[in-house]
């Protein structure tokens, strides 16, 4: 089981790297972006993207960067700066991608690694993963924290959906693994194995990521 989980997690992480390297990657919260304006270094910034995506750029003002590619943001900045500078040339670099993830596995339609968003609750992540698979056992959903000293949480999603105002719709923490049990299939018998697998593979991913960035 440890090997199976490891292979699944590694596949998810390497896919995330491939998507991030794509020219069509869109900016997300917690990404690090850097701008360079030729001939006007006082306009350069290096900052982290806040949860609301609003960044104040010198002379260009506030811009909502969420959902923009680096090229999109370059064009927006050049257009705004053109009111003050002659033919401004701007380069935008995404220097670090959102490092915080939540892993959703088991009987969901689109299992994988999802960006962590502060304040986001269990049902929001289940929805983001496409909802229940046809084989889902909605009475048994488990949340495994990365810290193996913390106990897993078990949530009855069937009851939660019947009582949406209940306290069961908990906030998810960075690197939590959400596992929705299938009606048939494997279970996580020992969290220590799960935590060890994720810790090892996060280390492998970090090394791969550094090497891929040159």
Phi, psi of 70 (to 5 degrees): -60, -40
Residue 30, C-beta contacts closer than 8 angstroms, at least 6 positions apart: 48, 49, 98, 99, 100, 115, 116
Residue 183 near residue 136 (C-beta atoms within 8 A) = yes
Residue 8, C-beta contacts closer than 8 angstroms, at least 6 positions apart: 105, 111
Instruction: Spell out the per-residue pLDDT of the chain, length 214, in tens.
Output: 444 444 455 455 544 544 444 467 889 888 999 999 999 999 999 999 998 899 999 999 999 999 999 999 999 999 999 999 999 999 999 988 877 889 999 888 998 889 888 889 999 999 999 998 888 888 889 999 888 788 889 988 888 888 766 788 899 998 899 999 888 655 544 444 455 455 545 554 544 444 444 4
What's the pLDDT at 158? Answer: 84
The residue ranges of every structural domain in the chain are: 2-21+99-212, 32-96
In the numeric block, the tokens 């590619």 are attached to: 69
DSSP for 54-77? EEEETTTEEEE-TT--HHHHHHHH
Instruction: Give me the half-sphere count of Cα atoms (radius 13 Å) on the Cβ side of residue 98.
Output: 24
What's the pLDDT at 7? Answer: 46
Nearest to 25 by CA among 128, 111, 97: 97
> Greatest CA span in the chain, whole angstroms?
65
CATH number of 2-21+99-212: 3.10.560.10
| CATH architecture of the domain formed by 32-96 | 2-Layer Sandwich (3.30)
What six digits make up the tokens of 6? 């490891």
Instruction: Tell me whether the CATH fold assigned to 2-21+99-212 matches the one assigned to 32-96.
Output: no
Helix axes 191-212, 2-21, angle to 10 degrees: 30
Model pLDDT for residues 121-167, shown as the tens digit of each residue: 999 999 999 998 888 888 889 999 888 788 889 988 888 888 766 78
């Amino acid at each position: 089981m440890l090997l199976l989980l490891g292979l699944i997690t590694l596949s998810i992480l390497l896919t995330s790297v491939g998507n991030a390297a794509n020219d069509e990657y869109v900016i997300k919260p917690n990404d690090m972006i850097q701008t360079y304006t030729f001939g006007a270094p006082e306009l350069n910034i290096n900052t982290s993207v806040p949860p609301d995506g609003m960044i104040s750029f010198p002379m260009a003002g506030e811009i909502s960067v969420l959902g923009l590619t680096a090229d999109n943001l370059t064009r927006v900045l050049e257009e705004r700066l053109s009111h003050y500078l002659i033919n401004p040339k701007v380069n935008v670099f995404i220097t670090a991608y959102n490092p915080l993830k939540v892993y959703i596995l088991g009987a969901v339609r689109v299992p994988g690694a999802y960006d962590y968003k502060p304040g986001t609750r269990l049902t929001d992540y289940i929805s983001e993963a496409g909802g229940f698979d046809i084989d889902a056992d909605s009475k048994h959903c488990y949340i495994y924290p990365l810290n193996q000293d913390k106990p897993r949480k078990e949530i009855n999603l069937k009851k939660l959906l019947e009582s949406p105002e209940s306290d069961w719709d908990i906030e998810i923490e960075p690197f939590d693994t959400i596992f929705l049990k299938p009606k048939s299939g494997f279970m996580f018998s020992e969290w220590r194995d799960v935590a060890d697998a994720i810790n090892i593979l996060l280390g492998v991913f970090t090394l791969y990521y550094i090497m891929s960035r040159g």
